[in-house]
Structure 1
């Protein structure tokens, strides 16, 4: 009996890249969903040769194969939520949007707009930024950008926590139902995350920075959770 037939909840389809080091990407997503009691299915958009320091190489996955992975999972297993991570190319973003339109139009979508790895490697081609902005972000239940990603998407500088509300409003203008703007790139030890929703509701989360070198994959983990 398939998961769809059994009525099991907590099915998450993750559309993202693979991290050979296991700390980020699909591997981090699967671990997170599993630890929280969900069922993780995947559509892999790119293969990376990656460790905790950097992305050494990216192996392309054909867009039609990405679409096929999404289609067969949704037709058999189904999904209660979809999460996107590293999408890499504009043609992949287009087939992801088309597949979701065809097979999961009402399933909540979490978009983690992965653009640059912590080691500096480019994970979203510049020409794909507009496709992400226009094809996926408007259909998202929530997007989870860090500050550098938010600056690219909103077209505005976010110099400090005081600038985050305006940036969140600019991101909401792109169409998602909510924005979780992550403040980990702020200077200092007092950090702010801001959750803003359509209609004006907002929640501010403040805490002290945890000093650690174990930060690889934190964005993937949060978005999957």
Structure 2
């Protein structure tokens, strides 16, 4: 009997002890979409439904060793990055992925869903100057756009200006997530030539922890499955919309999206 190896996707991110975001959300997404997920843990958080109580970076040599172990033996058809915490970790990841022949989806994580900082202020410049230029797709929310470019998005008309500012930092594609704007959610994907607008109805569900991690991981998974960037983003958006719709209460605060919604 022939057993086929599924496409492989690597996440480089932080661990969420509550299981809703970070490494845990990434691996659940990858399993749900039919790829083999692998992980490089860059930081460990103490985190639950009400916030982040603390985080601890792994030593740079531990992150470098994990990257070398996975990419040197197993390999990956796509890579997703999330919480990287410090300039040293951003530098190591950028150096490694800059020379690796696979698409890279960068989720430039700055704060948690609850507003807790997950990126040292001094790491923002390193993220901007070193990691974004190696990204195939970068997926900032509106706060992260402002953190990286000083562009403030106040309505849908500002999305193009935000995307242009992100593209000037070097990624091939920018996906500006406009879910925090008033009205119906709208995202803009562009490489500076093509433009794709994604709309969805606003769901009446507060349990949305892990949406950013899930979206970026879904994009990476679909890229590994052979989709082009617009196709991967479109399918990832459909998956995340379903996961938000089935988000469930957990603990006393904001619960997670349901990564297994298609199975239930």
Same fold, TM exceeding 0.5? yes
Mapped to 2, the partners of 1:101 and 1:158 lie a distance apart of 30
Normalized per residue, which structure has more strand? Answer: 1
Q: Which residue of 2 aligns with 1:45?
A: 42
What root-mean-square deviation, in Å, do the aligned CA atoms of Structure 1 and Structure 2 show? Answer: 1.3
Runs of 4+ in 1 over 4 A off after TM superposition: none
Q: State whether structure 2 residue 56 is matched by structure 1 residue 59.
A: yes
In structure 2, do the counterparts of structure 1 residues 7 and 127 end up closer, same or farther at CA, with 3 Å as the change threshold? farther
Structure 1: 5+ residue stretches without partners: 1-5
| Deviation sequence 1:21-47 (CA, Å, 0-9, x none) | 000000000000011000111000000
Match of 1:214 among 207, 211, 215: 207
| Deviation sequence 1:92-140 (CA, Å, 0-9, x none) | 01111222245x2x21100000000111110011100010011111111
Q: What is the CA distance between 1:7 and its match in structure 2?
A: 7.8
| Matched residue count | 216
After TM superposition, list the pairs within 5 Å mapping 1:172-183 onto structure 2.
172-183=167-178
The question of whether the paired residues in 2 share the 8 Å contact of 1:181 and 1:193 is answered with yes
After TM superposition, list the pairs within 5 Å mapping 1:78-97 onto structure 2.
78-97=75-94
Q: Which residue of 2 aligns with 1:77?
A: 74
TM-score when scaled to structure 1?
0.92
The question of whether the paired residues in 2 share the 8 Å contact of 1:115 and 1:122 is answered with yes
| Deviation sequence 1:183-223 (CA, Å, 0-9, x none) | 111123x121111114x110111222112111100100000
Q: SS of the residue aligned with 2:154?
A: coil
The question of whether the paired residues in 2 share the 8 Å contact of 1:9 and 1:80 is answered with no
TM-score when scaled to structure 2?
0.79
Mapped to 2, the partners of 1:155 and 1:73 lie a distance apart of 36
